[in-house]
Amino acid sequence: LWEVDSHDPRDGELDEAAAMLREGGTVAFPTETVYGLGADARSTAAVERIFEAKGRPSDNPLIVHISDRKQLEELTLPLEGESAILADRLMDQFWPGPLTIVLPVKPGAVSPRVTAGLATVAVRMPAHPVALQLIAASGCPLAAPSANRSGRPSPTLASHVRDDLSGLIDGIVDGGAAGVGLESTVVEVDGDLVRILRPGGVTAEALREVAARVDYDAVAAPGAGIAASAAADAAPSAAGAPAVEAQAPRSPGMKYAHYAPQGLMHLVKGDADAVSAYIEAEVGAAKARGERTGVLAFAEHAARYDADCVLVVGSLAQLETAAHGLYNALREFDNRGVQRIWAETCTEQGIGHALMNRLSKAAGHAVVHV
Ligand code: TXA
Ligand code: MG
């Protein structure tokens, strides 16, 4: 475990970690979104250790992290025409930053385990001084999924990585709390169109300022997890999942259950007072059955609840705070042994879109409309 200053890692401080990566090791490191678990993307042996440590399905490809746009030439084939112009514009505007772009892979450039057999590779340049310095010092393009056990909430602190992967990886660079708190936005470029495959740190609104057209893969569209409603008495299960999931998502990771706390979770959507009243009634009934109850609330409403564990996810007035706090809160419910959880919802504008996407996945798409 190396503890470093997240804004300004000192010279040489990352050398040991970089050497480990060069030699085929696995090292977790902070990015501006969540912690990643890095390995040399060119080495199948190294990349296999990521899949093993995470318990990750092998058909789910990895994002390759770079520190310099020059590395793109080694990894990808050039796009043509309008797509090339748009991809360049996205990189100019959003790199380094929480945007992952799916590009045609140069044959043989990365291990086939990274791309899971696709003809494309997802690439991103993270906006975190520690990540950028580590990638540069290692001299490797780094394959790095989120540094959690598959299915668990992504890690936003080094302690989350330790909780999930201790003994399974070679090292952790601790650079304090990750920034955004949700993963990057994954997009593909098609002529003058940007298609969002996974909502994340760069909002659709921000992409629209650069691209003539922005649309969504079905599973990534606003409302995909929430609007497809479950009845008020529905249990969170495949039955509550929206029909759009029947179609294979273009980003393979989107088909997996994710982020789920151990307790049974429902999202509750509707007028704020009706939501509070419904949750309080449910909490009361669950307590009477002897269950340990939890509520995930926005700061503005938290005082309304009297569950065993009321966690503030962030402020409705500043949804960035909720994005930052979501995964830590989901982990905290587990730490406190909560058995039933109700969560408030918010708008799907801006970062609210990625926030509701992750929250509805965590609830297995069980949404109660009140
Ligand atoms: O913010 C992030 O993106 C974090 C940090 C560590 O960079 N990484 C991350 O990686 O979230 P991971 O592995 O948890 O999610 C990668 C997502 C998955 O949904 C995967 O299916 C998708 O990216 N992906 C990777 N390669 C792809 C490709 N060639 N085409 C489509 N989707 C791809
Ligand atoms: Mg992940």
Q: What is the DSSP string of 211-267?
A: -SEEEE-GGGSTTTTTTS-B-TT--SSGGGS-GGGGSPPSSGGGGS--S--SSEEEE
d(CA 16, CA 66): 19
275's torsion region: left (phi>0), alpha (psi -120 to 50) or beta?
alpha
Q: Any idea which ligand is nearest the CA of 63?
A: 1
Tokens 């990643």 label which residue? 36
pLDDT number for residue 6? 81
- pLDDT recorded at residue 206: 98
CA of 197 to the centre of ligand 1 (A): 10
pLDDT in tens, 67-110: 999 999 999 999 999 999 999 999 999 999 999 999 999 999 99
What pLDDT, on a 0 to 100 scale, did the predictor assign at position 237? 37
80-84, 193-197, 250-254, 308-312: least confidently modelled range: 250-254
104 Cβ inside 6 Å of ligand 1: no
| Cβ within 8 Å of residue 320, ≥6 positions away | 180, 314, 351
| Pocket flag, ligand 1, residue 156 (CB < 6 Å) | no
Closest residue by CA, ligand 1 atom 21: 253
Distance, CA of 67 to chain centre? 20
Q: Quote the mean pLDDT of the chain.
A: 93
Give CA–CA dist 267/370, Å, rounded: 10
What are the E-state strand segments in the chain? 2-3, 27-29, 36-40, 63-65, 99-104, 120-124, 142-143, 171-174, 185-190, 193-198, 213-216, 264-269, 293-298, 309-314, 340-344, 367-369
Name which of 343, 350, 339, 352 is nearest 370 in CA terms.
343
| The pLDDT of residue 228 | 47
**For residue 247, what pLDDT band results from cuts at 50, 70 and 90?**
low
Q: Would the pLDDT of 242 be above 80?
A: no
Cα(306) to centroid(ligand 2), Å? 32
- Bigger pLDDT: 63 vs 151: 63
The reported pLDDT for the residue numbered 356 is 97
Closest protein CA for atom 13 of ligand 1: 145
- Nearest CA to 281 among 268, 264, 298? 268
The predicted model gives 305-320 an average pLDDT of 98
What pLDDT, on a 0 to 100 scale, did the predictor assign at position 333? 97
Tokens linked to 159? 């302690």
- 131-153 pLDDT, tens digit per residue, is 999 999 999 999 999 999 999 99
CA of 187 to the centre of ligand 1 (A): 10
Q: Do residues 13 and 125 touch, judged by C-beta distance below 8 A? A: no
Per the listing, tokens 């959507």 go with 269
pLDDT band for position 259 (50/70/90)? confident
CB 34 near ligand 1, within 6 Å: yes
pLDDT for the residue 236: 41
Residue 323, both tokens: 């994005």
Share of the chain above pLDDT 90, in %: 87
Is 234's pLDDT higher than 70? no
96 CB near ligand 1 (under 6 Å): no
Task: Report CA(251)–ligand 1 centroid distance (Å).
Answer: 8
pTM: 0.94
Q: Which two tokens stand for residue 51?
A: 């899949």
Is the link from the previous residue into 96 a cis peptide, with omega within 30 of 0? yes
**Contact of 203 with 152, CB cutoff 8 Å:** no
Summarize the confidence of residues 315-335 as an average pLDDT: 97
Say what the pLDDT of residue 223 is: 87
> Nearest bound ligand to CA 126?
1
Are residues 44 and 116 in contact, defined by beta-carbon separation less than 8 angstroms? no
pLDDT for the residue numbered 67: 98
pLDDT at residue 233, rounded to an integer: 40
Q: Note the pLDDT of residue 226.
A: 67
pLDDT on residue 248: 80
Which pLDDT does position 227 carry in this prediction? 55
Q: Atom of ligand 1 at shortest distance to CA of 250?
A: 31
Q: Work out the pLDDT band at 8, boundaries 50, 70, 90.
A: confident
* pLDDT tens per residue across span 145-192: 999 999 999 999 999 999 999 999 999 999 999 999 999 999 999 999
pLDDT for position 241:
38
